[in-house]
Amino acid sequence: MPHSAGQPACCQLTDWDEENAYGHRPPTCRTDQRNEEDATFSSIDLNGLQPQCEGPKLPPFPNRKATLKVIRRLSDPEHNGEAHVFEVTIARKAYALKIFKFYNEEADVEAFSKPELEVIGSDTLRAHSDPFYNECRAYGRLMEWDLNGRIAVRAHGYTTVTAENVHQLGAIFRIEDLIQDAEEHKINPNLPPYRCMFRAIVKDIIKDDVPLTHKRIKKMRRDLLQMREQGIYPLDIKRSNYRDGLLVDFSSAKTKPHFFLDMCAESRSERIVNEDLYAFDDMIKEANIKTWVKANLEEYKEKLRPRDLNRKKYPK
């Protein structure tokens, strides 16, 4: 039977235990009569857990010994993304816990020629392409400018989840890719650091989304432009990645300094980072919201005559 919201899985955030995280000594787990599970979650600062490159970084989640309960799955079961999101409580406070799947770099490697890869370097490629690293770098930049929680949902830090507990969550919520990744760890415990545990980010949870309005869209546009001013390009702007007008997903983001933006011709780099502007306008169009707000403002002005701009009147 799938897990229900009325039967939370009980877990524990603990200090770093090297044997535990590498799978040499599995955590103690049990299932009692209420179908609740006691398990071990670990939070560490391991070499390789953070992106090994210059630029911003997200700090670890501070509350490592608090009791954690997994309440329900938040991410869309039909969406095969790079991570799965759960509603959890930590020390009786509600959060969203985003658990990332193992990063497969083969597709990113195939996108470049051998000479290009020699220039880029495997560590840099991974640090700028891994979805977990993408979020860590984006949130690190938001924190540098005191924008965390103001123009995107607040992140509280990264943590790690043991392979055994991920396998349990995969079984409870019927998430096949988490089960497969956890079983890969069991088969080959001598994986590189970034594949020997499941990395996760703790964020604020926004339970009740609100409809888009002209006023809210104006703020969303300002937020997006402010991210771009700080060198953050989300590159995955869509309605499902917003909650209460705040962006919640940076797994596809490019944050400066970024090798790809540096090595591309200026015209190509500009086209890539401007994808967010077109995607924002498409999102508003699909939502059928009556508003003059456009992210790609220059293109919008070219389509309207001056008198049209003056005549547009919408609610504040």
Tens digit of each residue's pLDDT (9 = 90 or more) over 68-125: 889 999 998 877 789 999 999 988 899 999 999 988 888 899 989 899 999 999 889 9
pLDDT over 60 at 305, yes or no: no
Write down the mean pLDDT value for the chain: 79
CA distance 69 to 7: 10
CA distances from 210 to 31, 74, 75, 197, 198 (A): 37, 16, 17, 35, 32
Q: Where are the alpha helices (DSSP H) in 145-274?
A: 163-173, 176-187, 214-229, 259-263, 266-273
Report DSSP state, residue 208: S
For residue 296, the model assigns a pLDDT of 77
Nearest to 77 by CA among 186, 194, 172: 172
Is the pLDDT score of 178 beyond 60?
A: yes
Range from 175-189, 217-231, 250-264, 282-296 carrying the lowest mean pLDDT: 175-189
Alpha helices in 69-213 (DSSP H): 106-110, 114-120, 122-127, 131-144, 163-173, 176-187
Percent of the chain with pLDDT over 70: 74
Residue 34, classed as helix, strand or coil, is coil
Instruction: Please report which confidence band the pLDDT of residue 314 belongs to, taking 50, 70 and 90 as the band edges.
Output: very low
Tell me which of 191 and 149 has the higher pLDDT. Answer: 149
Tell me the C-alpha distance between 140 and 148, whole Å.
9
pLDDT band at 238 (very low <50, low <70, confident <90, very high): very high
What is the helix (H) or strand (E) element at residue 156, kind and residue range?
Answer: strand 155-161
Read off the tokens for 315. Answer: 């609610």
> If pLDDT is split at 50, 70 and 90, which confidence band does 255 have?
very high
Quick check: bond before 306 cis, omega within 30? no
Query: Of 122-126, 139-143, 202-206, which range is least confident?
Result: 122-126
Question: Does residue 20 register a pLDDT over 60?
Answer: no
Do residues 41 and 12 lie in contact, with contact meaning Cβ atoms separated by under 8 Å?
A: yes
Higher pLDDT, 107 or 25: 107
- Residue closest to 133 by CA, chosen among 56, 71, 204, 185: 56
Per-residue confidence (pLDDT) for residue 278, from 0 to 100: 93
Please compute the mean of the pLDDT values over residues 293-314 and round it to a whole number: 50
The verdict on pTM exceeding 0.85 is no
What integer is the mean pLDDT of 17-44? 33
So what's the pLDDT on residue 17? 33
Looking at residue 80, its pLDDT comes to: 77
**Is the pLDDT assigned to residue 41 strictly greater than 90?**
no
Mean pLDDT of 182-199: 72
Q: What percent of the residues of the chain are helix, what percent strand, and what percent coil, each to the nearest 5?
A: 40, 20, 45
Specify the pLDDT at position 316.
36
